[in-house]
Chains A and B, each alone.
Chain A
Amino acid sequence: MHDMSAEPAVHHLSPPQGFIRKHVFSLDHKVIGLQYYGLALAAVFIGMVLSWLMRLHLGWASLAIPGLQHLSPNGAPGGVITPEYYLSLMTMHGTIMVFFVLTNAPFAGFGNYFLPIQVGAEDMAFPRFNMMSFWVTFVAFLVLIAAFFVHDGPPISGWTSYATLSSVGGISGPGEAMGQNLWAVSIALFCVGQLLGSLNFIATTLDLRTKGMTLGRMPLSTWAWFITACIGLLAFADLLPATILLILDRTAGTSFFNPAGMVVSDTLLPHSGGSPLLWQHLFWFFGHPEVYIAIIPGFGIVSHILPAFTRKPLLGGMRVMIGCLIAAGFLSYMVWGHHMFVSGMNPFSAVLFSVPTLIITIPFTVATLMFLGSIYGANLRFTSASLFCLGFVSVFISGGISGFFLAQPSIDTYLHATYFVVAHFHFVMAVAAIFGIFAATYFWMPKMIGRMMNDTLGKLHFWLTFIGVYCIFMPMHYLGIAGNVRRYASFTDDYLVPLIPVHKFITIAALLTGAAQFIFLYNLIHTRWWGPLAPENPWEATSLEWSTTSPPPFDNFGGRHLIVHQGPYEYNAEGAAQDYVMQTDPDFVARS
């Protein structure tokens, strides 16, 4: 019996030979990371086009959008979007963006690619689970997209799929028959994929760190992915059974969420005593941590990238940032009820959820102040990546401030389900996370594809996007305060009519900002094949991914086992020969 846990000298798998093993069903975390990134890229453009369609309809309700009638003859007869189809578009926009973009790109995409490299491992702990994780997610995406092509179209219940709209079946509206089934199956599959991914992230971080890579020497990006994996592990483990109960309510006649005596379209439904609020509790117990799954990798990415451009460690030090992220992750499980202030739950529990919501602003405020303090007085190197980091801080603060208001149950009662909320979560979660993704793309793409992205185009992309998102989302605060409810398809003959010009302005801004993303797409595609070759360490950064070739070989370090001697942010360290010290440099004694 041989029971030895000897360390393999090189990668325990041999490099794949065939095309399929190399690029399709690959076990290599780098390929899987790129696959996640590619999936997110495809998803984000679909999601963006959906938002364009919605915005066009909000500005010009009777506008016929050429070709749309072919996608959905019922939903858009003659190309004019019906109110129900507007809700379908909104549901798909939210679901695609939250799950397949904001979770896939910053966490699963970059995390898969860089977490093993940053801890000095050859691969993830369980490469086969890793491959399964991506392909399950891919199937989940196909299942979701299939909802566009079934006869009743995509579901209309929003990305939160509130019962009972989502739980009684086709009788409650178009898209609620097969469309909602596909949504539920897709999300269940997505949960499985993310659980497998989280398992890998945690085991890799805990067990596969190279010599000298103590937890305190891990880059903040790796810390953020690790914390996100811990959050995701519990969050998706909650959503999965909730989705199973939803599917049973829809298909097996159970009454988990369906109350008794419900009459829909003049039909008395046979359900008994279920609780629609139960779905909201189960969903938001996942849903609030989920938005942290989207944003915490962004914090890690910015914390990791900023020091490379300010040429100094983060103000306050790594430990404070790690503490902030852990505190935020922990608190994210205590605040789910703040999404439900007007749901009819006990008003006293609103206070219970309001207080931790206000407390959660503390770690995020500290983290943001650390960024601002680090930028202050620094000789900042302006690149596309550093600009997007600054943009991240800006939009996060803008969105965070509106959060203070929404955390108060009394104010939220007025602002709930208005465009104020739309502005809040797009800034603080969606756009901030997207800026994190862009920063990471400009920073790491040279390592991932071995070619430098065009910095001029990157800066142009940044400025157009930065100005664009403010033009889109800032006016929404005004709309919300003016009482403009969200999820209305159009505003024709009521008190909202005077607000239509604002909507038109937002629509034009959204179209232009969206168009600016094609600069990014061009830059990315052009770089992939024709960009100038990237050196090993173009940013003069210190962590392990910059101690290997661009792109890294199959086993990440070409058979070497790196030994780590200091933390990842030794910029302008006293006594060093130059303004940065690689983590692998054996001859420098770190300050700490």
Chain B
Amino acid sequence: MSVTTYTRTEPALRPRPATPIAATKGIPSQTGVWVAVSAIAMSFAALTSALVVRQGSGADWQRFTLPRILYLDTAILIASSYTLELARKRFTACVTAFRAARSTQPAATEPASVEAAALRASGLYWLNITLTLGLFFVAGQVLAWQRLASQGLFLATSPSSSFFYVLTALHGLHLLGGVLGLIYAGYRLRHNARNAQTSLGTAAVYWHFVDLLWAYLLVVIAIRM
């Protein structure tokens, strides 16, 4: 161990405020997800501006009719955001109910609060619905690819189809990341992990973002293709 070289010889010079300024207490995962969301938004901004530039650069931009299933997919994804909020509402209510139960009988363990348990089960139910809808969306995107392929539009056929496949594939990958996030949050909620609510909140921010991102991409695709 080394020695601190600084030793004070004089007493305090002036009085200072009794309490130092409080430490920052943001939640890293919440900050982190917003940071990640900005980076992903930047990536897609780059891709969509590349799309605009590329469309203007050559005479080979081939317009095609979008597979109708994309609109159904969009509805599914919006619904999934709604069901996720339903799940979150139940989990929040569950915490409140459990705290209320514990304030009356301090020794209560979790199952003691019937109301809390019911709310949690309901929350997990809606979380599973959300996950299923997410997977339906991905399946729908695959169907859309098949429709396109059956029209003879492949990745390298036209720059429009290239961008379509790239944007939907990258978005789909990000959505699958959201599915993993929700599975992880659900796992933590099921096991009463510390800060499980925060995990769900973080996953929800991401999920809604991926949802919004899809809406943006659909608008770009619909206008440009």
> What's the Cα separation between A274 and B156 when bound, in Å?
12
B218 near A: Cβ within 8 Å?
Answer: no
B9 touches A577 (CB 8 A): yes
B22 near A: Cβ within 8 Å?
Answer: yes
> What's the Cα separation between A213 and B26 when bound, in Å?
14
A208 touches B155 (CB 8 A): no
User: Shortest distance in angstroms between A307's beta carbon and chain B's nearest beta carbon?
Assistant: 16
A253 near B: Cβ within 8 Å?
Answer: yes
Given contacts A209-B23, A273-B59, A274-B159, contact A578 B35 (CB under 8 A): no
User: Shortest distance in angstroms between B45's beta carbon and chain A's nearest beta carbon?
Assistant: 8
Give the residues from 44 to 68 in chain B that come closer than 8 angstroms, CB to CB, to chain A: 44, 46-47, 50, 53-54, 57-61
B12 touches A587 (CB 8 A): yes
B40 touches A248 (CB 8 A): no
B13 touches A126 (CB 8 A): no
A483 near B: Cβ within 8 Å?
Answer: no
> What's the Cα separation between A245 and B155 when bound, in Å?
12
B166 touches A585 (CB 8 A): no
Q: Which residue of A lies closest to B119 (CB)?
A: A1
Given contacts A233-B39, A549-B1, A582-B6, contact A3 B159 (CB under 8 A): no
Give the residues from 536 to 577 in chain A that come closer than 8 angstroms, CB to CB, to chain B: 536-538, 540, 547, 549-550, 563-565, 575-577
* Contact with B46, one of A207, A208, A285 (Cβ below 8 angstroms): A285
* Contact with B166, one of A211, A244, A253, A259 (Cβ below 8 angstroms): A244
A1 touches B27 (CB 8 A): no
A275 touches B58 (CB 8 A): yes
B43 touches A240 (CB 8 A): yes
Q: Which residue of A lies closest to B169 (CB)?
A: A244
B2 touches A533 (CB 8 A): yes
A237 touches B22 (CB 8 A): no
Q: Which residue of A lies closest to B38 (CB)?
A: A233
B20 touches A4 (CB 8 A): no
Chain A residues, CB < 8 A from B209: none
A207 touches B31 (CB 8 A): yes
Count of residues in B whose CB is under 8 Å from the partner chain: 63
Given contacts A212-B21, A273-B59, A565-B20, contact A536 B4 (CB under 8 A): yes
A537 touches B6 (CB 8 A): yes
B144 near A: Cβ within 8 Å?
Answer: no
User: Shortest distance in angstroms between A235's beta carbon and chain B's nearest beta carbon?
Assistant: 9
* Contact with B58, one of A208, A213, A272 (Cβ below 8 angstroms): A272
Chain B residues, CB < 8 A from A204: 28
* Number of chain A interface residues as a range: 35 or more
Given contacts A234-B42, A252-B155, A534-B2, contact A5 B54 (CB under 8 A): no
A212 touches B23 (CB 8 A): yes
Which of B134-142, B179-187, B189-197 interfaces with chain A? Answer: B189-197
User: Shortest distance in angstroms between A153's beta carbon and chain B's nearest beta carbon?
Assistant: 28
Give the residues from 338 to 392 in chain A that come closer than 8 angstroms, CB to CB, to chain B: none
Given contacts A199-B36, A256-B159, contact A206 B47 (CB under 8 A): no
* Contact with A207, one of B28, B43, B44 (Cβ below 8 angstroms): B28
User: Shortest distance in angstroms between B38's beta carbon and chain A's nearest beta carbon?
Assistant: 7
A213 touches B39 (CB 8 A): no
Chain B residues, CB < 8 A from A549: 1-2
Q: Which residue of A lies closest to B120 (CB)?
A: A1
Q: Produce 1/0 per residue, A176-218, CB < 8 A to B.
A: 0000000000000000000100110011101111111110000
B2 touches A550 (CB 8 A): yes
B198 near A: Cβ within 8 Å?
Answer: yes
Chain A residues, CB < 8 A from B152: none
A303 near B: Cβ within 8 Å?
Answer: no
User: Shortest distance in angstroms between A201's beta carbon and chain B's nearest beta carbon?
Assistant: 9
Chain A residues, CB < 8 A from B98: 1
B38 touches A209 (CB 8 A): no
Give the residues from 160 to 203 in chain B that come closer than 8 angstroms, CB to CB, to chain A: 162, 166, 170, 192, 194-198
B156 touches A535 (CB 8 A): no
A209 touches B54 (CB 8 A): no
> What's the Cα separation between A211 and B17 when bound, in Å?
14
B10 touches A255 (CB 8 A): no
A528 near B: Cβ within 8 Å?
Answer: no
B54 touches A275 (CB 8 A): yes
A260 touches B95 (CB 8 A): no
B32 touches A126 (CB 8 A): yes
Q: Produce 1/0 per residue, A279-303, CB < 8 A to B.
A: 0011001000000000000000000
A206 touches B31 (CB 8 A): yes
Given contacts A5-B198, A274-B58, A537-B6, contact A256 B162 (CB under 8 A): yes
B5 near A: Cβ within 8 Å?
Answer: yes
> What's the Cα separation between A240 and B44 when bound, in Å?
10
23 pairs, CB–CB < 8 Å, chain A vs chain B: A1-B116, A3-B194, A4-B194, A5-B25, A203-B35, A208-B28, A211-B23, A213-B24, A214-B21, A233-B42, A241-B44, A241-B47, A244-B166, A260-B58, A272-B60, A285-B46, A535-B5, A536-B5, A538-B5, A549-B2, A577-B8, A577-B9, A585-B6
Give me the interface of B with A, judged by CB distance under 8 Å.
1-6, 8-14, 16, 20-28, 31-32, 35-36, 38-40, 42-44, 46-47, 50, 53-54, 57-61, 91, 94-95, 98, 110, 116, 120, 155-156, 158-159, 162, 166, 170, 192, 194-198
Give me the interface of A with B, judged by CB distance under 8 Å.
1-5, 7, 125-126, 195, 198-199, 202-204, 206-214, 233-234, 236-238, 240-242, 244-245, 248, 252-256, 259-260, 272-275, 277-278, 281-282, 285, 533-538, 540, 547, 549-550, 563-565, 575-578, 580, 582, 585-589
- Known contacts A204-B28, A549-B1; 19 further A-B pairs (Cβ under 8 A): A1-B196, A3-B198, A126-B28, A198-B39, A206-B24, A206-B26, A211-B23, A233-B38, A237-B42, A238-B42, A241-B44, A254-B156, A275-B53, A535-B3, A565-B16, A565-B20, A575-B14, A582-B6, A589-B16
9 nearest A-B residue pairs (beta carbon): A273-B58, A125-B28, A275-B57, A253-B156, A207-B26, A237-B42, A273-B60, A212-B20, A272-B60
